[in-house]
A and B are shown apart, each in its own frame.
Chain A
């Protein structure tokens, strides 16, 4: 783990941080992305043939691999066995680098679209 020594020499743990949670070491202690929510059911997809930065963590690469086909944030977190907060930071990094595309789900009002509800109903009845 070369990058760990080279890039994370500063100590970002303080009293307020509480006990160190290991997964957050790979996010440099960050817990939020600035502009995107990454809803549980937002879909993430890896941008094809994006140039991959050399300083990505193995977890970034695992996320890119997993999202070759569109995958929801919740499923990605379960698949990589990482807490949601960590997944969101990793995805933020990938989004900033243009390596993934994200589609947030429609807002409440759109979801109450009657045709959508009809489609859900038909789907359930066909189960």
Chain B
């Protein structure tokens, strides 16, 4: 990985960070999912916004000349000395799109958590990632007592492209959350290899040898 600064490189000691986003409506279990796989208790970082920074178009509903604190929870998984994965929960209020932009910048992909009782809460996240071209999947968080839908039904209700994976999960369960992330990375890898196979000058299979 190259570094933007050419002077003594902190990169020699710092791992490569990989960002994955956990999105979805309020109370759907984003921080729960982060906490279930993170090696640390989810941390909270905050941004203080004035009405000015929210932007003219979105000023409705924001207290006049007020300040708002937007919280973003995140967790960390250290893969090795060279590689660390950060899981960032998106802020619940979708009007803070510019914060989403910052979060999505450089992210390899996103999990959109869905609650079948309030499926429409995840529409804005799905729209956002579709528009931005960020690879994502939909993970249906099966709360206790929540009606279980078949993934196909959820796919139809959300009008997802056929290649967007829909999986069921329990955000409280480490193994289940881990499987969701594995499914997401597989999805991203499929997209990347499809993209690179479209490029010219790729004459044979067997590229992308690991290591």
* Chain A residues with a Cβ under 8 A of chain B: 15-19, 21, 23-24, 39-41, 43-45, 47, 69-70, 72, 74-75, 77-79, 83-86, 101-108, 110-112, 114-125, 127
Contacts and interface: CB of A to CB of B under 8 A. Distances in A.
B76 A83 contact: no
B173 interface: no
Contact of B88 (A40, A101, A105): A40
- Which secondary structure dominates chain B's binding surface? mixed
B16 interface: yes
B189 A107 contact: no
Interface stretch (B26-34, B119-127, B144-152, B180-188): B180-188
B185 A120 contact: yes
Contacts of B65: 15, 18-19
B10 A103 contact: yes
A66 B79 CA distance: 22
B154 interface: no
Contacts, number: 161
A70 B10 contact: yes
6 contacts: A40-B88, A47-B8, A114-B193, A117-B189, A120-B79, A127-B178
Interface in B7-41: 7-11, 13-19, 37
A59 B127 CA distance: 39
Contacts of B19: 40-41, 105
Contact residues on B (Cβ < 8 Å of other chain), bracket = 35 or more
B46 interface: yes
B5 A102 contact: yes
B137 to A, nearest CB: 14
Given A19-B66, A117-B192, A120-B185, A108 B105 contact: yes
Interface of B: 1-5, 7-11, 13-19, 37, 43-48, 50-52, 65-67, 69, 72, 74, 76-77, 79-80, 83-86, 88, 102-103, 105-108, 174, 178, 181-182, 185-186, 188-189, 192-193, 196, 208, 210-211
B185 A121 contact: yes
Contact of A43 (B8, B17, B85): B17
A102 B47 CA distance: 21
B69 A83 contact: yes
A75 B181 contact: no
Interface centre among A23, A78, A103, A104 (most CB of B within 10 A): A103
A96 B15 CA distance: 23
B182 A45 contact: no
Given A78-B44, A116-B18, 17 more contacts: A43-B14, A43-B15, A70-B10, A72-B84, A74-B88, A75-B76, A83-B46, A102-B5, A115-B210, A115-B211, A117-B185, A117-B188, A117-B189, A123-B77, A124-B178, A125-B182, A127-B37
